[in-house]
Chains A and B, each alone.
Chain A
Amino acid sequence: MRKIRLSLALSCSLIVLSLVLMSFVQEKKPWDIPAKYQSMDNPQGADDAEMIKVGKINYSRHCKSCHGNMGKGDGPKARSIDVDLGDFTTADFQAQKDGVIYFQSFIGRDEMPNFEKKIPDDEDRWAIVTYIRTLKK
């Protein structure tokens, strides 16, 4: 009887621990980026002033409320979101390929919405990526 109780207690503890660990895993789980996007390059130049301007306007409208003015994940809506919003200013984020940022921004996952219908124009999408590149420290 004692052994059964011990086993039950141990199993319950393991279940609770696994749930806690899984929540951490969900918050920082790696992105599964399809090969097509891995090989995508931004057709716009990094110093394209016109596209940076377009990107800034679209970023302000669609992204700023969650990701913050500078992309640090500190927008007004960030508090109500459980997942890691990322920090666009970090070297790790900026080291990602253009197509990866594109996928993360417009295909999204979980609490990161899909923006394909809201921003259907490809030039506008890449303009946002171009602008996000300017947020690096």
Chain B
Amino acid sequence: MKKLIYLVVLVLFSGHFVLAQEDEQTEKKVDKPVRSPWESGTLVNHHTSVTQYKNTLEMVISHRFGTIENGISDVFGIMAPGANIRIGFNYSVLDDLVVGFGTNSQKKYQDFQAKYTLFKQTRENTIPVSLTFYGNAAIDGREDAVFGIDYEFSDRMSYFSEVIVGRKVNDWLSVQASANFTHYNSVDSLLDNDKIGIGLGGRIKFSPQSSLTLELGVPLKIESISQHTSFTNHPKPHFSIGYEVSTSTHAFQIFLTNGMGILPQELYMHNLSEFDSESIRFGFNITRLWNF
């Protein structure tokens, strides 16, 4: 027994294990994509050209509070009912291809999305811009009665597609512009099923980790695709101004916006709020990355 105890003590006093990892280094040559044109793949409601490296899982939590019109009584909308929340997950299948899923409290949207950056702006400007394609399909998850008589499952579907052109102008300024198309299978009789819109976005970086973000989405009145002779309840432009800070694993965005929607099709088709003191609200997005 004594010998056994001494042996245990000896083992505990003896050496320890060290694990060292080695990995092969590969050098990239020639013209490379610009560094961090945006802090994350999301700029408030729109997407950017940024896609995370292959095999990265991204969780995105988006929240839009109530409007600020009630002032301090509901802490400028933060405690107000009627908030909108989205929880989503994106996975980088390739360095430039991301697929994702999200669930929303508004209209119980369940959305499926994909984003592909065809080419990226390079440091030597041999390619001056990034070109990105984004698309989603969303299922409105509310009860059948919402869609009126002759309900079919396809009534629940809406689609959004977008082409985004972005450029990192310099170390502190990045801009992007997009053209997008929204389609709802089922809309109110006075509305159009389709909407074309223009999006603009910008980031002004004022410290290594912090930025000011700006975003504007404008639904266009295009008679050639309208099903009516006049536009009724045409959606209002949505505008956002915010602050963003990023770390190794997170991006935090907080902003003022006039749109309650989080899914872009909801904003381009149904936003009736102006950017004024009665309609603006606080919102935030948080992203978290896991590398595999």
Contacts and interface: CB of A to CB of B under 8 A. Distances in A.
B248 A65 contact: yes
A120 interface: yes
A44 interface: no
Nearest to A18: B12
A107 interface: yes
Contacts of B1: 4
A82 to B, nearest CB: 15
A-B interface, 3 closest residue pairs, ranked by CB to CB distance from nearest: A60-B208, A18-B12, A117-B291
A8 interface: yes
A124 interface: yes
Contact of B247 (A54, A61, A117): A61
B238 to A, nearest CB: 29
26 contacts: A4-B2, A7-B2, A8-B5, A11-B5, A11-B8, A14-B13, A18-B12, A21-B13, A32-B20, A34-B20, A34-B22, A54-B35, A57-B208, A61-B209, A65-B248, A107-B22, A107-B23, A109-B21, A114-B21, A116-B23, A117-B53, A117-B56, A117-B291, A121-B32, A122-B28, A123-B28
Given A114-B21, A122-B25, 17 more contacts: A4-B2, A7-B2, A7-B5, A18-B12, A18-B13, A34-B20, A53-B171, A57-B36, A60-B209, A61-B208, A61-B246, A61-B247, A65-B248, A107-B21, A117-B53, A117-B291, A122-B26
Say which size band chain B's interface belongs to. 20 to 34
Contacts of B35: 54, 57, 124
Interface in B36-84: 36, 53, 55-56
Interface of B is mostly: loop
Contact of A18 (B9, B36, B53, B291): B9
Interface of B: 1-2, 5-6, 8-9, 12-13, 16, 18-23, 25-28, 32, 35-36, 53, 55-56, 171, 208-209, 246-248, 291-292
Interface of A: 4, 7-8, 11, 14-15, 18-19, 21-22, 25-26, 29, 32-34, 36, 53-54, 56-57, 60-62, 65, 107-109, 114, 116-118, 120-124
Nearest to B55: A117
Contacts of B5: 7-8, 11
Contacts of A121: 28, 32
B9 A109 contact: no
Contacts of A60: 208-209
A18 B28 CA distance: 48
A122 B23 CA distance: 13
Interface of A is mostly: helix
A133 to B, nearest CB: 18
Contact of A32 (B8, B18, B53): B18
Nearest to B27: A122
A97 to B, nearest CB: 16
Contacts of B8: 11, 15
B20 A22 contact: no
Contacts of B32: 121, 123
A106 to B, nearest CB: 9
Given A11-B6, A62-B248, A109 B20 contact: yes
Contacts of B28: 121-123
Contacts of B53: 117-118, 120
A52 to B, nearest CB: 12
Given A61-B208, A61-B246, A15 B20 contact: no
Nearest to A59: B208
A126 to B, nearest CB: 10
A62 B250 CA distance: 10
Contacts of B36: 57
